[in-house]
Structure 1
Amino acid sequence: MGNLNKVPTIRFPEFKDAWQHKKLSEFLKEAKKRNGDLKYGKEHVLSVSGELGIVNQIEHLGRSYAGVSVHQYHVVEVGDIVYTKSPLKANPFGIIKLNKDKAGIVSTLYAVYNVKEQNAYGPFLDYYFSLDANTNRYLRPLVKKGAKNDMKINNAYVLHDRIFAPSIPEQKRIATFFTVLDKKITQLKEKKAMLEQYKKGVMQKLFTQELRFKDENGKEFPEWDEKNIGEIFSIFNGYAFSSNDAKNEGVPWVKIADVGIQEMKKENLSFLPEDFLEKHKKFILRKGDYVIALTRPILSGELKISVIDDFFDNSLLNQRVGKIVSENNTTFIYYMLQQSWLIKAIENNIAGTDPPNLSPSEINYIKIEIPKVPEQRKIAQYLSSVDRKIQSSYAQLVFLKDFKKGLIQRMFCN
């Protein structure tokens, strides 16, 4: 078994030797250093995140969840690898991450390992285990689960199985390549966050009239009018389709669970028979329509209102989801409904608490200030252009993440 070797599907051309199948114990050794001298306090406790890796617990979660005493906690140096003995949705046997940032401590529920630098390069192992399939494949044969879904495995036994790995120079070459890719991913995340923050700020200024556009002739637009919501738009309720009609394919069925904040969700989708389009014509949704969740319509201070995209074009609208209807500019209304003061006013008019339900008739008399249609168009066009930049950044981010995942699958032997 130990002499088994392999070659990855894709590799850098300067490397020719086959990868060797070695026990993880040849690359890692258990780190048994404890925080007995209390060098590290509760402010140095680390958490392990599937997406973010090893992070400071207070910075990541907002508080420390450490016990009364941290003197028995494991010390984690920069460059150490940590195995988290707790299940995640994508990783039912836990996750394995490299500490890239700052030294700290973790509870005894974690296992900590030093990298044997003569045989392994820590970032290479981190990228190997960044792929859920690799982590699950490695841990599944080793881990026994208790009645409470807890992990039954001692720290030394974690190193008992094998992975394929190349020479140190090839490990470093691969890790360096993915580090550059990760920097690009981070830059795209920062760009998207910056654009989202800019949009939030400019929306605040536009809807408080601190910032105003000029008309096509460079003149001031008229003053805004005060109107009731019911004078500006209405909400068209969906149809009470039966769950018995649900199919695995067919016409997308837009339910409450599909309505996100600004963007539609695409998990746990349902479909209806194709002939329902003819039977229920007035409930058809088209690309560019705006829908709002009428049950539990507010999440973390944001209104669950989404734009229908390509995927949901020619879909059917379910009960307790409403379509925004207006004679003028529904895109302007979409942005207007993202204003925190208006969301608060809507929240104050929601009926019931379990679950809270939005009744269109109960919000019709909320008063708002609104510009004339030409200025509405200007505002909607500008904010739409910012949204397109955000969506472009997001699309690039998704592409790069998928590209990275695909490369890891092909550049690592399994």
Structure 2
Amino acid sequence: MDKRESKIPLIRFPEFKEGWEHKQLNELLKVSKKKNKDLKYSKEEVLSVSGELGIVNQIEHLGRSYAGASVHNYGLVENGDIVYTKSPLKENPYGIIKLNKGVPGIVSTLYAVYKVKDNNADGEFIEHYFSLDANTNRYLRPLVRKGAKNDMKINNEYVLHDRIFVPKKEEQKRIAHFFNVIDTKINQLKEKQNLLEEYKKGVMQKIFTQKIRFKKEDGSDFENWDNTTLGKVFKIFNGYAFSSKDSCENGVKWVKIADVGIQRMQRENVSFLPFEFRELHKKFLLKKGDFVIALTRPILNGELKIAEIDDFFHNSLLNQRVGKIISSNNLIFIYYFLQQQWLINSIEKNIAGTDPPNLSAKEIDHIKVSIPKVKEQEKIAKILSNIDNKIAKSINQIDNLKNYKKALLQQMFCY
């Protein structure tokens, strides 16, 4: 809350020379006291604040309205307003600050709404400043007191009580425009990713309903698909009951349920076992190209938690409640085959009734399926892998651009 001398960012547009001023946030924003007293907005127009998506319609974002019995005391949020949500998130334990770039609506009293003082501030500059988790946490930490229920003890006026470094409005707008261009490119890549994923779903649906068939190398038709059961298509090899007592800071990785995501491995919380375990339990070693499936709570949001072992997890050990898929069929084909929605629904139905739901071979072996011969499986696997490679490329481009943006945010603002 102290007032410090002006500062200059590490990276700056050359036309600007003046130092940035250390201003109290109430010089840039003011509390909006507009309420939905006349019920201009209904429960269908309640807004939520998302760390990833910003300010969005609650029903579109969460699938339903969480509004109270009456919304007459909800705060009005107009386009260009700043909203602070007094709810903790994993990366933002003191809440998040976002700009409403979309349609107007209302928010519950758990949110604070602010108007931008146009003579001093640019709303998009303020949002970009607080888009860095470190900035948001650094600013809010000294102001917020948390209650017994992890709720925020801070009034709307006091949120504006601390200071941030800001340039003159012209430079704010220049910086905001620069980051808006990056955001536009990120959104275009996300849209490309979404289109590819929808295309993949359509191709898979046509392949597995046999509306699309492939030819042999000599141009002749492949044989009819075989009617069989899932138990004859693949087997599940269960992992070993390694103990957390044996975990160490550095050693051989072991694959736990939390490491198996939807169609990709997760790297956030990797655990290690002593190196000698690699030889002691070598029958449980995983290699790049193996496929693993979560055996406890294997289905999340209608999708199966199945993933390919990549370079990162090569030579890791398989833990209990994670299964390795064993088959004489093409493993990549099986990976895609198991992503069919009707099959996931059937698996979910067969493992229902236990808490948590546990998957084992005996529950699903009897499920009737049709599969092609291995040579056609290979063609199918290649086609779908090519689409996935394009999706992975888009994801990589998005991640690289986000990292580029984050690095620039850290150097183009003063703290």
Q: Please give the residue correspondences for 1:15-414 in structure 2 after superposition, counting only pairs within 5 Å.
A: 15-350=16-351, 353-414=354-415
Give the secondary structure class of the aligned counterpart of 1:5. coil
168-177 or 242-251, which moves further after superposition? 242-251
> In the aligned structure 2, how far is the partner of 1:361 from the partner of 1:58?
40
* 1:252–1:219 Cα change, 3 Å: same
Give the secondary structure class of the aligned counterpart of 1:262. coil
> In the aligned structure 2, how far is the partner of 1:367 from the partner of 1:116?
65
Give the secondary structure class of the aligned counterpart of 2:210. coil
- The question of whether the paired residues in 2 share the 8 Å contact of 1:283 and 1:317 is answered with yes
Residue 393 of structure 1 aligns with an amino acid whose one-letter code is S
The Cα shift of 1:218 comes to: 2.0
Residue 61 of structure 1 aligns with an amino acid whose one-letter code is L
- The question of whether the paired residues in 2 share the 8 Å contact of 1:351 and 1:358 is answered with no
> In the aligned structure 2, how far is the partner of 1:256 from the partner of 1:2?
50
- The question of whether the paired residues in 2 share the 8 Å contact of 1:351 and 1:359 is answered with no
Residue 188 of structure 1 aligns with an amino acid whose one-letter code is L
> In the aligned structure 2, how far is the partner of 1:364 from the partner of 1:3?
69
CA distances 1:276-307 after superposition (whole Å, capped 9, x unpaired)? 11222211111111011122222222221111
Give the secondary structure class of the aligned counterpart of 2:139. helix
Give the secondary structure class of the aligned counterpart of 1:227. strand
* 1:103–1:361 Cα change, 3 Å: closer
Give the secondary structure class of the aligned counterpart of 1:75. strand
* 1:366–1:40 Cα change, 3 Å: closer
Q: RMSD across aligned C-alpha pairs, in angstroms? A: 1.5
117-126 or 277-286, which moves further after superposition? 277-286
Residue 219 of structure 2 aligns with an amino acid whose one-letter code is G
Give the secondary structure class of the aligned counterpart of 1:155. coil
The Cα shift of 1:3 comes to: 5.3
Give the secondary structure class of the aligned counterpart of 2:351. coil
The Cα shift of 1:351 comes to: 7.4
CA distances 1:219-249 after superposition (whole Å, capped 9, x unpaired)? 2111111123333222111112122111122
Tell me the matched-pair count.
414
> In the aligned structure 2, how far is the partner of 1:355 from the partner of 1:145?
33
> In the aligned structure 1, how far is the partner of 2:322 from the partner of 2:4?
60
User: Structure 1, unaligned stretches of length 5 or more?
Assistant: none
Residue 81 of structure 1 aligns with an amino acid whose one-letter code is I
* 1:2–1:257 Cα change, 3 Å: closer
- The question of whether the paired residues in 2 share the 8 Å contact of 1:229 and 1:367 is answered with yes
> In the aligned structure 1, how far is the partner of 2:374 from the partner of 2:64?
48
Give the secondary structure class of the aligned counterpart of 2:115. strand
The Cα shift of 1:88 comes to: 1.5
> In the aligned structure 1, how far is the partner of 2:350 from the partner of 2:35?
55
What TM-score, normalized to structure 1?
A: 0.96
Give the secondary structure class of the aligned counterpart of 1:6. coil
Give the secondary structure class of the aligned counterpart of 2:313. coil
367-376 or 176-185, which moves further after superposition? 367-376
Partner of residue 7, structure 1: 8
- The question of whether the paired residues in 2 share the 8 Å contact of 1:328 and 1:373 is answered with yes
> In the aligned structure 2, how far is the partner of 1:197 from the partner of 1:258?
25
User: Structure 2, unaligned stretches of length 5 or more?
Assistant: none
* 1:63–1:340 Cα change, 3 Å: closer
> In the aligned structure 1, how far is the partner of 2:369 from the partner of 2:72?
58
> In the aligned structure 1, how far is the partner of 2:369 from the partner of 2:400?
40
Q: Share of identical aligned residues, percent? A: 70
